Amino acid sequence: MSTTLTPKAPETTLPQTPADAEGVRLYGMYIDGEFTATDGRDMIDTVDPVSGEVWARITRGTAEDVDRAANAAHRAFTEGEWPKLNPSQRGALLRRIGDLVSENADWLAYIEQRDNGKLIAELSMQMRYMANYYYYYGGLADKIEGSVIPTDKPGVLNYTKYEPLGVVACITPWNSPLPLASMKIAPALAAGNTVVLKPSEFTSASLVELMKIMERAGVPKGVVNVITGLGAEVGDALVSHRHVERIAFTGGPIAGQMINEKAAKHMKRVTLELGGKSPNIIFEDADMDNALKGAIAGIFAASGQTCVAGSRLLVQESIHDAFVERLLEMVKQAKFGHPADPDSQIAPISTRPQFEKVKSYVEVALAGGAKLALGGKPANVEGCPNGLFFEPTVFVDVDNSMRIAQEEVFGPILSIIRFKDEDDAVRIANDIEFGLAAGIWTQSIGRAINMSNRVRAGTIWINNYRSTSVTSPFGGFKMSGIGRECGIAGMKEYMEVKSVWISTETNIPNPFVRR
């Protein structure tokens, strides 16, 4: 019987996390500038999806912990060092965080991989790129300018300014824990807010590790806090906390809807980055080699566990059979292996419940009448006997009305749908409750522009798929969410506009008449 490979931990100068006698790391939370003790606390197992072993335990936080963290964040927002920093000083602090993220990128990639099993080839790049969130928003911190308004009222000077909101709750999923948290932390801090983070209960270790960087960078206590535990317990308590002014949430539509309802009751601001069922549309005039790569990157990168997964592949009738044949050939060549091996191409499913969900959707597709063309079952991978690997799975003869075409799986399952022409492609692409992203493959500039105008999604990729940048706004139409992350728009989500009126007259005119 083969034994599981265990990736070697890279060197780090960050303080070590305590471990139990078996070497399982024990993660506390980070509240008001202190790592909380784990003795006597309820703990939740964190399972390595490659080995099936418990490699860490995280603290199961409570509503009292949330209260302490939110109060600490509120104190840090209203008194002490943080509100005295000017935007340029906040920017400098963010750039220090960016430097430390860069220096510790290999360590963070290692922890993130133990947590969610992503390919090291992707994680190494992602963790290095993550420093850019702190550099970009560090640079932007002192560049958000208000305006002097040329008002139509006499005797006044009117100007606007952008102000922070206060305490921001950031709630994140398990598929890209650190980048999705950094996408929130960096603009929230640049704007002058304080934050309480709640990572997924499946992948919390990496965010607690990031707090060591926050501490080393000199972030004042209480400005950034991490609460770990279950969504229904600490997540819910955080959303309801009276000091929380904004909720920045990335996750599934069900939790997103619940959060939105709660937030509405207290007029809390929300950014919701939810799921998708994105169309990746291949026209007959596309560059076929690139379109094939784009189709594969769209759904099988990260084993389909990305919100932007191009899980509905729309292929024009005239090229359908030839395209599908080549796609299946290419997918069959994909290399399974331990995600720590830089040559591996297929990573495991990150959590046991998600693995079961992916399996169940094969049944859903078959029951709905889709035809299985490839995969459809768990995969045995040498060196990883307990790994949660699943074969890249392709269904053909899918109709857009089937459940497999309408519901987000968040796994390596591709549904291929035929279309006749542009109108038909638009109809199918938009006949869905989601609107996160779309890919369009064509060599006609006119068709590319027309299609990008007609497909209802927050991000449109023409002749590429999955490109994102901290500099460009990202978010969903329809059920895929509310608000935008990244870019200048992403920072303004963490600010309120204030309008200030100054009288330039020496005498206030008749007080009974509005001017």
Q: Which residues are catalytic?
A: 273
Nearest C-alpha neighbor of 253 from the set 221, 278, 276: 276
Q: Report residue 460 as tokens.
A: 């449109």
Considering only residues 265 to 324 of the shown chain, the ones binding ligand NAD according to CB under 6 A are 273-276, 307
Query: Measured between alpha carbons, how far is 248 from 191 in angstroms, rounded to an integer?
Result: 14
Q: Which residues contact 44 (CB under 8 A, 6 or more apart)?
A: 57, 58, 59, 60, 201, 228, 229, 230
Radius of gyration of the chain (CA): 24
Give how many residues touch ligand NAD by CB under 6 A.
31
Stretch that binds ligand NAD, among 149-157, 233-241, 292-300, 322-330 (CB under 6 A): 233-241
- Work out whether 448 is an interface residue with ligand NAD (CB under 6 A): no
Task: Report which secondary-structure segment, H or E, holds 103.
Answer: helix 87-103
Longest dimension (CA), the chain: 92
Contact 410, 310 (CB under 8 A): no
CA distances from 375 to 107, 126, 411 (A): 34, 28, 12
- Work out whether 434 is an interface residue with ligand NAD (CB under 6 A): no
Apex 175 CA angle, 372 and 301, nearest 5: 45
Among 69, 178, 239, 362, binds ligand NAD (CB under 6 A): 239
Among 48, 112, 115, 236, binds ligand NAD (CB under 6 A): 236
Stretch that binds ligand NAD, among 205-213, 215-223, 255-263, 331-339 (CB under 6 A): 255-263
Q: Which is nearer to ligand NAD, 274 or 425 (CB)?
A: 274
Considering only residues 49 to 88 of the shown chain, the ones binding ligand NAD according to CB under 6 A are none
Among 200, 260, 271, 280, binds ligand NAD (CB under 6 A): 200
- Work out whether 201 is an interface residue with ligand NAD (CB under 6 A): yes
DSSP state of 294: H
- Work out whether 115 is an interface residue with ligand NAD (CB under 6 A): no
Query: Measured between alpha carbons, how far is 433 from 420 in angstroms, rounded to an integer?
Result: 22
Lateral strand order in the sheet of 393-396: 371-374, 393-396, 413-419, 312-316, 279-282, 437-441, 459-462
Instruction: Work out how close the CB of 260 gets to ligand NAD at its nearest, in angstroms, rounded to a whole number.
Output: 10
Instruction: Work out how close the CB of 22 gets to ligand NAD at its nearest, in angstroms, rounded to a whole number.
Output: 26
Beta strands in 404-505 (DSSP E): 413-419, 434-435, 437-441, 459-462, 477-478, 481-482, 495-503
- Work out whether 198 is an interface residue with ligand NAD (CB under 6 A): yes
Query: Measured between alpha carbons, how far is 320 from 43 in angstroms, rounded to an integer?
Result: 51
What residues pair up with 122 in beta bridges, in sequence order?
A: none
Query: Measured between alpha carbons, how far is 462 from 136 in angstroms, rounded to an integer?
Result: 25
Q: Which is nearer to ligand NAD, 232 or 367 (CB)?
A: 232
Instruction: Work out how close the CB of 255 gets to ligand NAD at its nearest, in angstroms, rounded to a whole number.
Output: 3
Q: Which residues contact 216 (CB under 8 A, 6 or more apart)?
A: 14, 100
Among 252, 378, 383, 473, binds ligand NAD (CB under 6 A): 252
Q: Which is nearer to ligand NAD, 60 or 454 (CB)?
A: 60
Among 259, 362, 429, 491, binds ligand NAD (CB under 6 A): 259
Among 97, 119, 171, 185, binds ligand NAD (CB under 6 A): 171
Stretch that binds ligand NAD, among 157-165, 198-206, 424-432, 462-470 (CB under 6 A): 198-206
Q: Would you call 401 exposed, middle or buried from its count of C-beta atoms within 10 A (0-12, 13-18, 19+)?
A: exposed
Stretch that binds ligand NAD, among 130-138, 165-173, 465-473, 486-494 (CB under 6 A): 165-173
Instruction: Work out how close the CB of 436 gets to ligand NAD at its nearest, in angstroms, rounded to a whole number.
Output: 6
- Work out whether 350 is an interface residue with ligand NAD (CB under 6 A): no
Amino acid found at 475: G
Q: Which is nearer to ligand NAD, 27 or 323 (CB)?
A: 27
Among 101, 111, 255, 479, binds ligand NAD (CB under 6 A): 255
Q: Which is nearer to ligand NAD, 66 or 373 (CB)?
A: 66
**Residue with token string 């297929």:** 346
- Work out whether 232 is an interface residue with ligand NAD (CB under 6 A): yes
- Work out whether 231 is an interface residue with ligand NAD (CB under 6 A): yes
Beta strands in 255-329 (DSSP E): 269-273, 279-282, 312-316
Instruction: Work out how close the CB of 493 gets to ligand NAD at its nearest, in angstroms, rounded to a whole number.
Output: 13
- Phi, psi of 265, deg, nearest 5: -60, -35
Residue ranges binding ligand NAD (CB under 6 A)? 171-175, 180, 198-201, 231-232, 235-236, 239, 250-252, 255, 258-259, 273-276, 307, 408, 410, 436, 476, 481
